[in-house]
A and B are shown apart, each in its own frame.
Chain A
Amino acid sequence: MTPWNFLQAPVGSQPERSVPRRRYSARFENIDVVNQFGESLRFRDDLVADRMVVINTMYTTCRGSCPTTGTVLMKLRRDLTDLFGSRIALVSMTLEPEVDSVAVMRRYSQDFGAGQRRDDLCPWHFVTGQPHAMDRLRRSLDFFDLDPRVDQDLSQHDATLLFGNDQSDRWANLPAAVRYGQLLATIRRIVGESFEERYGIPG
């Protein structure tokens, strides 16, 4: 019997090295955005830093994927609140800030029960901003297509969710069209902080 490979570097024996960490969110553009209540926010500092977040792109006149994605997010908001309370937030960012003013976004958010602040549900921000800044933001979040023709065509925009936990620096994305149970289980697994929070069973 040979010594256990484990002995090579036993658990806990290595001192924690002070190498710098740069979180994935360091790539996110920290632009000024405004939510449906007219609040000015810094995207990275106020919506992402140290938080759990689910981000998607939308525009209010979309007749394609947005209404469906919005409905999915409504359900997610309820279920994620049960799991994470107000530690998590949803962010829907517009791809058409020229059209989607704060007032338009507020009206739109009412369709999804997000027109008023609610204490019983986690925050859901519908954000708009300066067109150029918003474009930089979506690119920094990889909501774009390499084919410029497709990228310019709003009706072909990404119907994906980007979600993560900035504290644990764990991120993933999924198409919003994935089966709802899958979506919820995956978000929970990625953003959850303890074994139990991620998997629903004691670690």
Chain B
Amino acid sequence: MKKRSIPRRQWLKGIAAAPAMSAAIEAGVGLASQAEPPFEAAFDKKKQYELPGWAFSQNLEVPLTPRPTAVGTFEQIDRQPGVFGKEDPVPVGEVFHGVADEWGITPNHWAAYGLDPTKRGAEAWADKQAHFRTLRDRKTGEAIRNWGHFPIKCFKIPIQETFKKLRPDAAFEARLYGYSGMVPGPTFRMRIGQPVVVRFANQIDSETSVHLHGGHSPSHSDGFPTFYVLQGKSRDYFYPNIVPLRRNPDVAPDQADAYFADEGEAQSTMWYHDHAMDLTAHNVVKGLAGFALCFSENELDLIRRGVLPGLGEKSCLDPDLLGRSEDPTLEHPQFPGFYRRGKEPYYNPFDFPLAIQDKVVDLPTGQVAYDSHGHNGYLGDTMFVNGTAWPQQVVANRKIRLRLLNGSNARVLRLRLLKASDFWRLHRDGIDDPGAGEDDPVVIGGRAERYENLAQPFLRIGKDTWLWPEAQTRTSMVLTMANRGDIVVDFKQLVGRDLGPGEEEEFILVNTMPQADGRGPKQKLDDAGDPRVLPLPFDVNLPDRQIRLAESKRPIGLMKIVVRGPRVARDATVEHGTPLQPHQRIIDREVTVVREFIFERGKGAWQINGRFYDPNINNATPTIDTTEEWVLRNGGGGWWHPIHIHLEAHQLVRYEKDFDADGLIEAVPGGLPLGNLVDVTNQIQGNDLAGLHDTIALGPNSVARIRMRFRTWRGPFVFHCHNIEHEDMRMMFNFEPVAEALPPNNLLDPNIAPNARTHGNDVTLNNRTGELPFEQLPVPPEHAEDVGNLMIPSRPRPKPRNP
């Protein structure tokens, strides 16, 4: 066995961890279990509408950006000691969990893109640079190589226990987990065409796995649930930051322009969070989540030209690309290894990433009151934005970009922006509705128009990881778990005047979605007259439609935004209809395979197609460079399931309401009733429909038809419900893109899930032990036809027009 060099410190930490843990337990307060009172703190649905006196008094924290430990060419990084800091001699890929094999080799199927799979190392890297096509720098017109145009950046992020007071009235600091000891984790600021290697080192007593949510990354680096970073170990996550290549169906595959770089899928607002098997919810609620922003040439151009808020050219620069990595003024004075504020790449004082999370805080101990064994979904009554309870932020009298993330475990948000005076009145009195019962904070109907009239408009510019094709005016935004909403608020217009010294205008970001348990928003969302319309988990803002939204009697305040100063003269130019980032719609003839997945409750846990998740069984095998349509069906019971599909963006083509869904659980084996679907696709506004999406809200009684292309990386990857408790309780499936189109009736027919993973351990470069052998169980003898049984027959693959 090859000797593995693990830093001594890390090794010692691993050994020391167990006794240190128990010592810590002994040292704790009130530990003798008999003396230990039960948690008083539990979620109380009425408390979520209350605000403590100190709400909106703490300042918002904007997470720092980590500095790279090395910046260089492939030759300067590969096999070199010290690229993760001078105290860490271990080169890329030689830690316990290794690095993705795509770092050093070329998969065979990339021959289709013109690459030579026999090349290795630096030669292979140069080959990838040459063949992953180019993008265009919109300032200079210069060609930018999709793969590795900009030097590689290396980062080292320890996953640490950390302490933070969650509320001023909590008696103690809470024991949390943090990337680099920060909650939320530091914000990465990356660029398309710039490969990044992050060494995540686990120093906590919980197994971890890091998922870059929205990324198009190799399987090894994608946070597959059993591709762990174990206690005391490290994994090198390789994020190439490429835009996927798309097959041009009109050109023969061997022609030079058969593939082009699909810039419409350049990532913008990603986030990273824990994804470890069985423990994701525990790890995330304790703090393992952060933002990862990526800048494409197009987005930088929008900022440079002043379309999107920013400092123009100044917000398009990376000091490390200007050769200033050694400049001592970049370093944060208190936090070595982080940029001083204002010095980070693509610095933008008018762009705030905001992670919204809810937790229950046990005030006598200060700890997060989490229920490790609950699996309906965890709700909290203390609302956090970027780790601070009910913060406030002062902004200039101008357009401000807010990148909002619903980072909660099980709470669905309907976000609105209210003037502070309106908010406090509604907070005190509730919406004025004579029909509303006094004791019931959630009453349906009659008041939606009021919220609608009071809500301040904003421009929505993107959903999930991607910018929209054009900006659109909205007054509300529905974000299910893991969704992101990218918006620009024109405070200059909302305030409408110059604010003198001492003057300010206040706005409150609120959630009006009534929700009392992990099942999702109150079931009876429906407008009494037309149950086909709601609950529709999308923005609903159609002035001509006579519907009323179900919203809570009192808004839940999240954050205060204080506007000060005179109106700025030169503001961002984005307005309703401004074009941003066009996407390529997937057309009917591209689709070659249709699969159906039913998400339902079963045996006290969660299932897809009647099966529990098994990390060793493959549930779908798409062929790389083909397009599929997936039918995602909610199995009923009033549950909401936001479905997140790793690796690829998807487009929504149809959204249907299925009123027999609650009969489905029994009906599955014998076939599905299809006649009662009601198409509500036309109720969804254009961009909400087109996306792009990485997490689609599957509300109760709903069927979503989505389309996506599978590209670049071999599996395994997962898709799952992003109610994290459901995910941990096995509402998850694997899909494993493979390179070859397979003959029908073969075990690897894309319609039929083969029983085995097609590869597993070889996702790690040099077949180093990346994954634990004991987790790689023998595969059951019969092959899993669960997907095949529900299959709609595959269509012939489209032939190129000019063979």
Contacts and interface: CB of A to CB of B under 8 A. Distances in A.
Interface of A: 1-9, 11-12, 16-27, 44-45, 48-50, 65, 141-143, 145-147, 157-160, 162, 164, 166-179, 181-182, 185-186, 189-190, 193-195, 199-201, 203
A1 B604 contact: no
Contact of B373 (A12, A142, A147): A142
Given A7-B336, A141-B373, A203-B232, A19 B367 contact: yes
Given A4-B156, A185-B774, A195-B232, A17 B173 contact: yes
B231 A159 contact: no
Given A6-B156, A8-B336, A19 B163 contact: yes
Contacts of B453: none
A20, A168, A173, A181 pick with most chain B CB within 10 angstroms: A20
A19 B170 CA distance: 11
B84 interface: yes
Given A175-B604, A203-B15, A4 B85 contact: yes
Give the 10 A-B residue pairs with the shortest CB-CB distance, closest first: A158-B604, A4-B85, A5-B337, A20-B29, A49-B33, A21-B28, A171-B372, A172-B278, A20-B365, A181-B777
Given A22-B30, A147-B637, A189-B207, 18 more contacts: A3-B336, A5-B156, A5-B157, A6-B201, A16-B20, A19-B174, A19-B367, A20-B28, A22-B39, A23-B33, A23-B36, A24-B371, A27-B371, A27-B373, A166-B33, A170-B205, A178-B612, A182-B614
B321 interface: no
A2 B84 contact: no
Interface stretch (B67-75, B125-133, B582-590): B67-75
B689 to A, nearest CB: 31
Contact of B605 (A22, A49, A158): A158
Nearest to B67: A2
B366 interface: yes
A2 B372 contact: no
A16 B68 contact: no
Contact of B33 (A4, A50, A179, A185): A50
A170 B206 contact: yes
A47 to B, nearest CB: 11
A175 B24 contact: no
Interface in B317-365: 325, 330-331, 335-338, 362, 364-365
A164 B84 CA distance: 36
A9 B338 CA distance: 13
B371 A172 contact: no
B39 A203 contact: no
Contacts of B66: 5
Contacts of B330: 2
Nearest to A175: B605
Contact of A8 (B207, B337, B373): B337
Given A19-B163, A19-B173, A175-B729, A2 B337 contact: yes
B517 interface: yes
A26 B365 CA distance: 13
B143 interface: no
B772 A9 contact: no
B181 interface: yes
Contacts of A167: 22, 25
A30 to B, nearest CB: 8
A18 B34 CA distance: 20
Nearest to B637: A147
Given A24-B373, A173-B729, A6 B206 contact: no
A110 to B, nearest CB: 26
Contacts of B84: 4
B88 interface: yes
B31 interface: yes
B456 interface: no
A185 B157 CA distance: 28
Given A160-B603, A168-B205, A174-B278, A6 B37 contact: no
Contacts of B775: 185
Contact of A19 (B180, B365, B777): B365
B427 interface: no
A168 B38 CA distance: 18
Contact of B231 (A5, A50, A145, A195): A195
B419 interface: no
Given A20-B30, A26-B37, A141-B373, A1 B69 contact: yes
B501 interface: no
Interface string B144-180: 0000000000011110101100000000111100001
Contact of A145 (B36, B156, B604, B777): B604
Contacts of A3: 85-86, 331, 336-337
B614 to A, nearest CB: 6
B230 interface: yes
B88 A6 contact: yes
B437 interface: no
A1 B172 CA distance: 38
A12 B158 CA distance: 13
A7, A22, A166, A194 pick with most chain B CB within 10 angstroms: A22
B139 interface: no
A199 B206 CA distance: 13
B728 interface: yes
B603 A4 contact: no
A176 B772 CA distance: 23
B21 interface: yes
B788 interface: no
Given A2-B331, A181-B778, A186-B277, A18 B15 contact: no
A4 to B, nearest CB: 3
Nearest to A55: B373
B519 interface: yes
A49, A145, A173 pick with most chain B CB within 10 angstroms: A173
Contact of A179 (B155, B206, B777): B777
Contact of A168 (B21, B162, B172, B278): B21
B569 interface: no
B374 interface: yes
Contacts of A147: 637-638
A5 B158 contact: yes
B203 interface: yes
Nearest to B165: A19
Nearest to B639: A146
A199 B230 contact: yes
A24, A65, A158 pick with most chain B CB within 10 angstroms: A24
A50 B36 CA distance: 13
A188 B247 CA distance: 46
A2 B614 contact: no
Contacts of B601: 145
B13 interface: yes
Contacts of A19: 28-29, 163, 172-175, 365-367
Contacts of B603: 65, 158-160, 175-177
A167 B39 CA distance: 17
